[in-house]
Amino acid sequence: MRSMNCVPGNCSRTMAGTADVTCCLISTSSTGPPATASHSRVVEPSCAIKRRSTWRSRVACAGVAAASAKRSRRGGLEELEDMSEIVVSVRRIDLPHGPRETMAALRGDAPGVLLESALPMEGQGQWSYVAGAARATLYTDAGGTVLRRTGQADMGFADPFEALEAMASAKQVRVVADEPVPEGLGFIGGWVGVLGYDAARHLHRLPETAQDEPSLPQMWWMAVDQVLAYHQPSRQWWECTSSGPGDGWPWTTTDRLAAWADTLARARRPAPSRRPWMAGARQLRMSREGFESGVEHIREAIANGEVLQVNLTRREDAAFQGDAWSLYEDLVAAHPVPFTAFIETPDFSIASCSPERFLKLQGRTVQARPIKGTVARGRTPDEDAANRDWLAASEKNRAENLMIVDLMRNDIGRVAELGSVRVPDLFALEPYASVWQMVSTVQATLREGLGPADLLRACWPPGSMTGAPKLAAMQAIEALEPLRRGFYAGSIGYIDCRGNMDLSVVIRTAVVARGKVMVQVGGGIVADSDPASEWNETVAKGERLVRVLDAGFSGSASPAAPR
């Protein structure tokens, strides 16, 4: 590891943990029309070339609408700020399965989410979480931002960040346990879901030129009041149940004891057999020529002083039918990483294999672990070691990483205590199935009185997926990428009822919706980027995803989490 002498603050050489949790929420499967067999072809909107040619004029005239100040809340939110005490009961229980088999046993008709640490690392992945049925959903789509509860009138919000501030702020919580609980229990109840990249449009004024296809929510969360927490080292389950006011989270009603008991009964059932899935031929939504032309445009903009770095990405689509959960299992088997995630609703499914933590908030301690810098794994041990050494010494990749570290320091610094932002690790190298990644760690202390929504407003969207300066880079992305990113480049994770938060970056991800599966890959473009090399880097990053899609349903169960 290298210390960062140029960063203010005290530095240490201690590597902070990456993936602390696995969180599993109950879900249903989604299906689509039959896949079709054809050769890969390019499907690119005809307006893409015109947009590129006029990019700089749009960037010059685009304004900024920063949302650094807290927004005033609308009438009717008082019930969401009820500070009545919430009691969380924690007790040891016995279940026959590990977390993944438990998720499979609990899947049913309700939407759900799984957050999983599929790659054990030193000091990481101590806990896994399986949650019971949703008490509510919170989402943003073309119609606005809405809180929805069964049998209740919908409640609207001005934007997703106002909603998160109202719903996911820290509550007055008392935890009751009959015996000592192992250290590190992070998620005892609250909200879990996804915040898409395009939620940034509520914080920044951006051009609207990229096509929104397919149109999916910008945000989707579900609230849970029952969590089955699995401690990996002891292989012991703990049940966490939350009781509190009826007019605010967790909306306690008289039927909760029976509902919690039903979850435990279903969790003890045998895991069901796997169901097949099939993907058709992949279609490139941006050609290689278009991608490499985008790299050249960014290099020219850098030379003109308009940007320092831009994260340029491209998407591939294929027809899809079958069980998205089985696709997730096959992806995890091929690409185990610290942050894997599965979200399933009637309208979409997300199967994510992300190596990158966006933000973790524990108490008032903030951690970000941006990834910038990639090289393919070698085919032999010697070649692999040579590739690693090349990445470690690469001035280009170090420059990419350092720019994003500075961006994250500045973003976090908006809401951090003065002088608390530091970089304990810089340019660390981590091995994954198909690539070596360069990872740095930024830490800080959140200012007193602020919470998860304030931190998200200051840092959204993830800087590793935009470039720097952030607004100019986002304007360039809108001009050069033919399609909106949707969930890709956003975050998946949880916001705990105590105000804790842990979010991964949505990369190495397959989104299933409208009868097709979509994957997206990209990389940071800097002054000395080579267009052909940048294309090859995207191929290396997506290699495991693409291989799974092309191979189809494996037929055999993927390795489960240890029991």
Distance CA 365, CA 359 (A): 10
Q: What is the pLDDT of residue 7?
A: 36
Residue closest to 494 by CA, chosen among 213, 284, 254, 240: 240
Segment (H or E) for 278: strand 277-279
Distance CA 327, CA 334 (A): 11
Most confident of 102-111, 183-192, 320-329: 320-329
Tell whether the model's pLDDT for residue 415 goes beyond 90: yes
| Predicted confidence (pLDDT) per residue in 356-371, tens digit | 999 999 999 999 999 9
- Token pair 């994260």 is found at 311
Distance CA 550, CA 544 (A): 10
- Token pair 């346990």 is found at 177
Segment (H or E) for 382: helix 381-393
Helices (H) and strands (E) in the chain, counts: 12, 28
* Two structure tokens written together for 320: 């899809």
Select the more confidently predicted residue: 222 or 563: 222
Name the pTM for this structure. Answer: 0.84
Residues 6+ apart with CB under 8 A from 118: 332, 336, 337, 338, 340, 353, 561
Distance CA 457, CA 466 (A): 15
Query: Residue ranges of the domains in the chain?
Result: 73-270+279-364+448-551
Distance CA 346, CA 137 (A): 13
Select the more confidently predicted residue: 150 or 13: 150
Q: What is the pLDDT of residue 181?
A: 94
Distance CA 31, CA 168 (A): 32
Residues 6+ apart with CB under 8 A from 210: 478, 481, 482, 483, 484
Give the dihedral sign, CA 469/472/478/484. Answer: positive
Most confident of 151-155, 271-275, 498-502, 505-509: 505-509
Work out the average pLDDT over 66-73. Answer: 36
Distances (CA, A) of 497 to 72, 83, 190, 455: 22, 12, 5, 16
Residues 6+ apart with CB under 8 A from 76: 155
Distance CA 284, CA 286 (A): 5
Tell whether the model's pLDDT for residue 18 goes beyond 60: no
Work out the average pLDDT over 372-398. Answer: 94
Q: What is the pLDDT of residue 111?
A: 84
Residues 6+ apart with CB under 8 A from 429: 388, 391, 392, 436, 437, 438, 439
Tell whether the model's pLDDT for residue 557 goes beyond 70: no
Residues belonging to the active site? 356, 372
| Predicted confidence (pLDDT) per residue in 231-266, tens digit | 888 999 999 999 988 888 899 888 999 999 999 999
Confidence tier at 66 by pLDDT (50, 70, 90): very low
* Two structure tokens written together for 7: 């960063």
Confidence tier at 113 by pLDDT (50, 70, 90): confident
Work out the average pLDDT over 387-403. Answer: 94
Least confident of 64-73, 129-138, 158-167: 64-73
Please, are residues 367 and 15 in contact by the beta-carbon 8 Å criterion? Answer: no
Most confident of 26-35, 329-338, 475-484: 475-484
DSSP 12-45: --PPPP-----EEE-------SPP-----EE---
Distance CA 176, CA 353 (A): 35
Query: Phi-psi region for residue 515, left (φ > 0), alpha (ψ -120 to 50) or beta?
Result: left
Q: What is the pLDDT of residue 5?
A: 37
- Strand (E) positions, 117-233? 127-131, 134-141, 144-148, 155-157, 173-177, 190-195, 219-224, 226-231
The rounded Cα 536 to chain-centroid distance in angstroms is 24
Measured between its terminal Cα atoms, the distance across the chain in Å is 33
Residue closest to 242 by CA, chosen among 195, 191, 194: 191
| Average pLDDT over all residues of the chain | 84
| Predicted confidence (pLDDT) per residue in 419-439, tens digit | 999 999 999 999 988 889 999
Q: What is the pLDDT of residue 118?
A: 82
CATH no. of 73-270+279-364+448-551: 3.60.120.10
